[in-house]
Amino acid sequence: MLIITRSMDLDGLVERIGSRKVAVWTCRTCARLCDGLGGDDAAENLAKALNARGIEVVGNASTSASCLWSKVAAAMEKEPFRDADLVIPLTCDAASMLLGQFTDLPRLECTKTWGRGCLDSEGDPSLLCSLEDGSTSWVKVKELKGAEGSLGPFV
């Protein structure tokens, strides 16, 4: 799986949205497993939080795996972003870039993809890191300098 964290807080997100109408796009796989950053519940919670701040959310859409062309194509056939000016992807960077193949709308990137990893026995995201000697090791995201993992979900 990919380890994904937020890259900004809710205030920063609201500031960057401005007066635009937004749609939220999310993945029910890796992003959902990363402290609830993505998934349907996270998208609905973010929509509620944005609405409470006066931002108009015109739709939410998701797929089981937003990195699969066929899944994104099927979801986009339903025109989930018809009235939006901006899409907020609660996904990894690959899924956000793939979404760009299906819509001309700008995407407000508010996540950071750290790389391949897993959830350890305590449920903490850990990365598979290459070491100088050519071996690999697990490193907890919260132990990395500058890791945004402490931000957690938006709400």
> 2-114 — its CATH code?
3.40.50
Closest CA to 154 of 34, 73, 62, 54: 34
Question: 3-state class of 65 per DSSP?
Answer: coil
Greatest alpha-carbon span in the chain: 52
What pLDDT, in 10s, does the model give residues 39-54? Answer: 999 999 999 999 999 9
**Residues of the chain with pLDDT > 70: what percent?**
92
* pLDDT bucket at 146, cuts 50 / 70 / 90: low
Residue 81: pLDDT over 70: yes
- State both tokens at 94: 């690959």
Q: What is the pLDDT of residue 147?
A: 55
pLDDT, average across residues 130-140: 84
User: Is the Cβ–Cβ distance between 154 and 49 less than 8 Å?
Assistant: yes
Q: What is the pLDDT of residue 60?
A: 92
Highest-scoring range by mean pLDDT, 1-10, 83-92, 120-129:
83-92
* pLDDT bucket at 125, cuts 50 / 70 / 90: confident
pTM score of the predicted model: 0.85
> Please, what sign has the CA dihedral across residues 125, 97, 94, 134?
negative
Residue 93: pLDDT over 80: yes
Q: What is the pLDDT of residue 46?
A: 96
Residue 64: pLDDT over 70: yes
